[in-house]
Structure 1
Amino acid sequence: MSEQKEKGFSAYLKEQNIELTFDRIGIKALGAMAHGLFASLLIGTIINTLGNLLKFPFLNEIGAYATAGTGAAMAVSIGYALQAPPFVLYSLVAVGQAANKLGGAGGPLAVFFIALIAAFCGMLVSKRTRIDLIVTPFVTIVVGVTAAYFLAPPIGAFASWIGNIIIWATEMRPFIMGILVSAIMGIVLTLPISSAALAAALGLVGLAGGAAHAGCCAHMIGFAVASYRENKIGGLAAQGLGTSMLQIPNLLKKPVLWIPAVVASIINGPVATVVFRLKQNGPPISSGMGTSGLVGPIGVITGWYTPSEQALAHGEVAMIPTAMDWIGLIMVSVVIPAVVAWIVSEIMRKKEIIEPGDLKIEV
């Protein structure tokens, strides 16, 4: 009897297009959340910074409207990745706004979990009644906002606590934490999960944000340069300005190919935190973007002129960058990853650890 019920429930989930898999939840939904952040908070911050630099208040108003929709944009993006039906998707606007507000500084992580709960419940009842127009939005919003009231504050507080520890530890031990944060974030960026969402959820700013930026750049630029022989200009742009995830098929077959990028991140991290004291004080999502669309460097620049709320909360202030700040940004974002990864990859090629075609990607 229990097996029949299990089969019946599984069949019902399949019929409602509900997949409780790591691919849909841990990869697609988490990555989509980062897209929602990009299309609201990040782009709004960039527009706001332009308004400040150009002394054009209308741009500041546009930026404010964009950032105000952050919670909704994240939740809708998650729902879209889950292939939620229309009434569930639209209803996630209210759920995302509530979860983001109640989650405080750790809002992105709260939105992620609560949007999943609300979408799941909404999809369970979607198109099952003749009054779907009422039932599905009602269930999605009531369940989602109720969950936000009870779960968003502790989830947000936990995310902020972890992020604060990382930020504090990086300030106290910039060399060691520079290595650890850079290496870990670089690896996460290359894996099929979202480093941008992780950085946003933990609120990584300041030196910790700089270390995360260093690691992400090391993997993107590192793989782009190390694989130049195979992929030429197209591969350089696809990985250096797109994503190093393109190397995943090659890394699964031969994990040793990760060495040039990992070594670059290990070196680049402490250079960022100790030598240049590079801080990423823009939106935390920028800390996990690297050179993808130049979002990481742009985040550092906007953080100089218009620090994010998370950065301000940690005592960071607006500044006028010096020549050394610009040099540090260029060195950490491009030069050091390129040089280190190229040297290591050439040594590995001479020792035949990397063979011709190992790093070839489909562009």
Structure 2
Amino acid sequence: MRKLLSRWFIDGMSFMALGLFSSLIVGLILKTVGQYIGIFSTLTEIGELAMSLAGAAIGVAIAVGLKSPPLIIFSSVIVGHAAYLEGGVAGAYVTTIVVIEIARLYQKKTPIDILVSPFLTIVIGVYIGQFVGPYVSKFMTQIGEFINFATTQNPFLMGMLVAVVFGVVLTAPISSAGLAIMLDISGLAAGAAVIGCCCHMVGLAVTGYKDNGVSGLVSIGVGTSMLQVANIIRNPFIILPPTIASAIIAPIMAVFWPMENNSAGAGMGTSGLVGQIMAIEAMGPSVKTWILIAIFHIILPAVVTYILYRVLYAYRLIKDGDQKLNLGSE
């Protein structure tokens, strides 16, 4: 059972996030750049095309992540697209996972697999997507609506909670980007989620600089804090500074200088600077927006996390070498 849960929720969601990033998120970035910079207006059309194929990208990404054979992978393009039209990201994710597991019963089992596998996968997948997709999507978006509502009613407590949860999920081998989009969180809740992610990415990039240098700073800071998972398992104290920083910074933002974001940026943090680009998309390209991004996405996460790290370092709870990454450069 543990292997299945890891297969569905870690491998499946991780690869779903790659599909999302390669279609919906990159498409949204291209569309945003095209809208704000007139000389690149054609990027808007390219972005819209990429966004329209998000379901297909999710389907093929999950199929690859779950190590399906080629015929199932190619058929999952259609399954993912059809399920996405019915149930959005959550519908595409659930439908593709279910179909791939069912396909294990018949894939490569007949002499005419080239016909049987794609035929059954597409037909079963489309029917499951039509039946399950809308219910899954509604369930996830209702949770997201509750989070959005609760954050506006109690910005201090919910800002803290949302930031901590999304920061930890970002660093764990689960997709915070996929979770944010499936929940469709937005507004202040999404703004808090971004800060939680930024604390983990910027914070761990800064605290690990002594061990990893510039390559580690860039890899974690604009890549992913997931690179520290192995080190965190060995020494869980490593994750405390960015987690506590999330709980400190997000409520301050939510109560005194509210920032907004959207579901595409909420779970990304500083990965590819998507969280910052989406903050500009949600709040507008004003000087105030740029200042708030600099303070709450970069400066405070770096400073607060580093101060907390130095406290743990002074008590020898974190030592030199604890955050050393193996980036394959040696």
| 1:123-166: CA deviation from partner (whole Å, max 9, x where unpaired) | 32122222222211111011111111111111110000000000
Match for 1:82: what amino acid? L
How much has 1:20 moved relative to structure 2? 5.5
Deviates more, 1:130-139 or 1:118-127: 118-127
Between the aligned partners of 1:354 and 1:86, the Cα distance in structure 2 is 46
1:347 pairs with 2:302 = no
Aligned pairs (5 A) from 1:144-163:
144-163=125-144
Deviates more, 1:222-231 or 1:161-170: 222-231
Aligned with 2:195 (options 211, 214, 233): 214
Q: Could you say if the C-alpha distance between residues 200 and 146 of structure 1 is closer, same or farther in structure 2, counting changes exceeding 3 Å?
A: same
Match for 1:291: what amino acid? T
1:26 pairs with 2:9 = yes
Between the aligned partners of 2:208 and 2:320, the Cα distance in structure 1 is 10
How much has 1:33 moved relative to structure 2? 0.6
1:325 pairs with 2:263 = no
Q: Could you say if the C-alpha distance between residues 245 and 58 of structure 1 is closer, same or farther in structure 2, counting changes exceeding 3 Å?
A: closer
- Partner in structure 2 of residue 196 of structure 1: 177
Give yes or no for contact 2:269–2:275 (8 Å, CA) kept in 1.
Answer: yes
- Partner in structure 1 of residue 326 of structure 2: 362
- Partner in structure 1 of residue 26 of structure 2: 43
Match for 1:161: what amino acid? Q
- Partner in structure 2 of residue 172 of structure 1: 153
Match for 1:355: what amino acid? K
| 1:266-310: CA deviation from partner (whole Å, max 9, x where unpaired) | 1121133223211113xx132111111212112212334xxxxxx
> Looking at CA atoms only, which structure, 1 or 2, has the larger radius of gyration?
1
RMSD: 1.6
| 1:228-253: CA deviation from partner (whole Å, max 9, x where unpaired) | 22222222112111111222222212
Between the aligned partners of 1:233 and 1:360, the Cα distance in structure 2 is 12
How much has 1:360 moved relative to structure 2? 2.1
Structure 1 portions without partners, runs of 5+: 1-18, 305-319
Match for 1:215: what amino acid? G
1:101 pairs with 2:85 = yes
Q: Could you say if the C-alpha distance between residues 259 and 57 of structure 1 is closer, same or farther in structure 2, counting changes exceeding 3 Å?
A: closer
Secondary structure in 2 matching 1:125 = coil
Between the aligned partners of 2:34 and 2:238, the Cα distance in structure 1 is 44
How much has 1:361 moved relative to structure 2? 2.1
Give yes or no for contact 2:155–2:254 (8 Å, CA) kept in 1.
Answer: yes
Between the aligned partners of 1:202 and 1:335, the Cα distance in structure 2 is 28
Secondary structure in 1 matching 2:104 = helix
User: TM-score normalized by structure 1?
Assistant: 0.85
Secondary structure in 1 matching 2:67 = coil
Give yes or no for contact 1:221–1:240 (8 Å, CA) kept in 2.
Answer: yes
Aligned with 1:288 (options 267, 271, 275): 267
Match for 1:217: what amino acid? C
Q: Using the aligned pairs only, state the percent identity.
A: 40
Secondary structure in 2 matching 1:192 = coil
How much has 1:347 moved relative to structure 2? 1.6
Secondary structure in 2 matching 1:352 = coil
- Partner in structure 2 of residue 65 of structure 1: 49
- Partner in structure 2 of residue 84 of structure 1: 68
Between the aligned partners of 1:251 and 1:209, the Cα distance in structure 2 is 26
Structure 2 portions without partners, runs of 5+: none
- Partner in structure 2 of residue 15 of structure 1: none
Secondary structure in 1 matching 2:325 = coil
Secondary structure in 1 matching 2:222 = helix
Give yes or no for contact 2:141–2:184 (8 Å, CA) kept in 1.
Answer: yes
Give yes or no for contact 1:121–1:139 (8 Å, CA) kept in 2.
Answer: no
Give yes or no for contact 1:271–1:332 (8 Å, CA) kept in 2.
Answer: no
Between the aligned partners of 1:168 and 1:254, the Cα distance in structure 2 is 36
Aligned with 1:131 (options 112, 116, 132): 112
Match for 1:88: what amino acid? I
- Partner in structure 2 of residue 312 of structure 1: none
Secondary structure in 2 matching 1:242 = coil
Aligned with 1:183 (options 160, 164, 171): 164
Match for 1:294: what amino acid? L
Between the aligned partners of 2:19 and 2:238, the Cα distance in structure 1 is 32
Match for 1:163: what amino acid? G
Secondary structure in 1 matching 2:323 = coil
Give yes or no for contact 1:224–1:235 (8 Å, CA) kept in 2.
Answer: yes
How much has 1:93 moved relative to structure 2? 1.7
Between the aligned partners of 1:60 and 1:257, the Cα distance in structure 2 is 41
Q: Could you say if the C-alpha distance between residues 136 and 213 of structure 1 is closer, same or farther in structure 2, counting changes exceeding 3 Å?
A: same
- Partner in structure 2 of residue 255 of structure 1: 236
Between the aligned partners of 1:177 and 1:78, the Cα distance in structure 2 is 32
Give yes or no for contact 1:71–1:108 (8 Å, CA) kept in 2.
Answer: yes
Deviates more, 1:140-149 or 1:159-168: 140-149
Aligned pairs (5 A) from 1:259-338:
259-281=240-262, 284-304=263-283, 320-338=284-302
Give yes or no for contact 1:46–1:302 (8 Å, CA) kept in 2.
Answer: no
User: TM-score normalized by structure 2?
Assistant: 0.94
